[in-house]
Amino acid sequence: MLVYPSGVDVSSTALRFLAARLKERRHTLGTRWRRLSAGRQALLALAHLRNGQPYAQLAAGFGIGTTTVYRYITEVVELLAALAPTLAEAVRAASMKAYLILDGTLLPIDRIAADRPFFSGKHKKHGMNVQVIADPRGRLLWASPALAGAVHDVRAAREHGIIDALAQAGITCWADKGYQGAGGTVRHPFRGRWEKLSTGQQAVNRSQAKIRALVEQAIATLKSWRLLRKLRCSTTRITNIVQAVLTLQLASSD
């Protein structure tokens, strides 16, 4: 296999943050020697999460075995996932915001037609449903654990406790028509054909559409980590990967 220098478009802040957490972990475990330093292990994990490079390529580039790459990346993902903010922490941190924006996104996975629970009728593909909360400027604040793609957005929001958490905090949340009937403080557009809506309802829907469009920035931020664009791992690992990416993104934006 040919090896060549390459780059990772990730903030150096994320690298320093992750390297520091790995050093702390190694000190806690009493690790004396590893094939890669904490900084190199952090770079290895960032290359995988950001670029979606397979283990074999990373093993060749870093001069270690494929099994070692898997162990190092798994360790990083579990470490970062444990540091991700909970929904309660995210809502508490956003309590002073004028409002929040909620939307769901589908993370594509490699599944066959027989895997019906993972098939999204809306997107016409297999994937995992992840709920995203953004602030009024479109910045990513929180991402939920992953559910099967067949789960509807409003059901996912209820299962994660998002609606109740926002209602208890008294935070207004804007969402699309997929959250009809959510209740609480969730606000969604008027439903129906455009020509059948009143002038006032049309004006409200236009105004809400401008607000909700900002959540696409948060979703794009999440999917800028290319591994999430096509996941080929076990579905049981996807929640940890999403939470790890969330931690890195928040660390980079601080």
Only one residue has tokens 């589908």, namely 106
pLDDT at 195: 81
Mean pLDDT of 212-226: 94
Q: 78-91 burial, b if ≥16 CB within 10 A, otherwise e?
A: ebbbebbbebeebb
pLDDT at 207: 87
Radius of gyration of the chain (CA): 20
Distance (Å, rounded) from C-alpha 79 to C-alpha 44?
A: 14
pLDDT at 199: 85
pLDDT exceeds cutoff 70 at 113:
no
Mean pLDDT of 125-129: 92
Mean pLDDT of 148-153: 93
Query: Which is it for the CA torsion 137, 141, 146, 152, positive or negative?
Result: negative
Distance (Å, rounded) from C-alpha 252 to C-alpha 90?
A: 16
Which pTM was predicted? 0.92
pLDDT at 1: 77
The region that residue 3 occupies, defined by phi over 0 for left and psi between -120 and 50 for alpha, beta otherwise, is: beta
pLDDT at 114: 59
Mean pLDDT of 20-41: 93
